[in-house]
Structure 1
Amino acid sequence: MTVRHKVLIVDDELHIRRLIHAALARADYAVVEAENAREALDCLRNERPDITLLDLGLPDRDGLELVPLFKRQSDATLIVVSARDATDQKVAALDLGADDYLTKPFDTDELLARVRVALRNRLTRDGGNLSLSVGDVTIDLVARTVTKAGREVHLTPKEYVVFAQLARFPGRVITHKQIMAEVWPNEHAHHVEYLRVLIRTLRQKLEDDPQQPRLICNELGIGYRLRPGGDAPDAGHEQPG
């Protein structure tokens, strides 16, 4: 299963939203839409998009005011897509925190190229991997696919988020708190047992022997790490849960 990247379109013009939505859907992105600032803020909190495409001419709030607000409330890459073509508007948006600026009218192929570049930059900005192979398991973080022995593995969206976190920084311990904040972002109280259940299902899908895991290693009381070599478990660290 491919877990698709999610793009939020914020634009009050229905025909523009439909145009962008159709182009993104053809490229196999998951798409959510908002026609004003209020809806956009709700989507940022609830949908957690990877990319936000923001029009500056919204009916309830000027888009330039939203740029720093969006950047504070979400780690989504922000691309302004606006009919405002004056240099001072572009500079203002970029200075306020926008990651890119595309002027209307635009070619959808260029828009898709900007989105692809934004996703690559997003994946590498912290020094992480774009793809990783450990034993016979491979994860492609750009395509969002996971394979084992050459065959694609069906992961749920939550399973993929956890495995992708570990795969971006193999060998590094990712804490329970860090993982749960990504998987259950709107929960006020996180329960480690939910994470343990999710890790068990991941091991069942990816490990040769889930009872003796060699890929996903538990650091007792701290978190999990992906063992780069997929070799024998570390004595004293590995726990089944």
Structure 2
Amino acid sequence: MTILDITGAGIAFRGLRALSDVDITVERGEVVGIIGPNGAGKTTLFNVICGALRPDTGRVVFDGRDVTGHSPDRIARAGMVRTFQLMRPFASMTVVENVALAAQHRRMPRRQLHRWAEEVVDRVGLGPWAHRLATELPTAGLKRLELARALGMRPTVLLLDEVLAGLVPSEREPVLKLLAQLRERDGVTLLFIEHIMAAVMRLSDRVLVLDQGRVLATGSPEEVTSDPRVIDAYLGEEATHADA
């Protein structure tokens, strides 16, 4: 069953086309990796999907409802949540407080909300840091906190913008296991932008390749990584990032 349908999405900035006629259909429970060279339009696409940018053309349909141009908070409350590559937690708050604040739209009693935030913090492996200030976390911890804030909203669709960036291989592994669990145990649909091809190959049911704001290719990880167009436009450049 389709949960996300993007048709003809296009947007320009000062005459420069950032996205052109992008079509994507995502099935419920699917994991879709999004790859492409820098400047291909990947983050712009996420911004269009999540309401940070209104497309000049096309529409975004989430779970049967047209959400094109809806505000990011309205889309997030409906169940489609994104993370950001640059983590900006509330510095004066603890880890748990950051997650509770993100989850407050769920309108729980305060004590119940706090328990829920603690459960999410434990799940992402930040239990020992739960009551410390977010600013005390190392980079790997900040990445997990960004994921925890998104999970606190209990998404049905989760969009991840380079959630593994800046992590060494040993730090990536727990995140990869958690993402697989989110799909397998919780049924969360995942779209993720990533440059680490080993992670893309491992997690993705399907891979979408963007180049110069257009869909260059889409298919299974094996199909996409053997496509000469993808190798020419992207994989040759990114081969050095393929370590797990």
For normalisation by structure 1, the TM-score amounts to 0.29
Largest Rg, 1 or 2: 1
For normalisation by structure 2, the TM-score amounts to 0.29
The structure in which a higher percent of residues are strand is: 2
Higher RCO (C-alpha under 8 Å, 6+ residues apart): 2
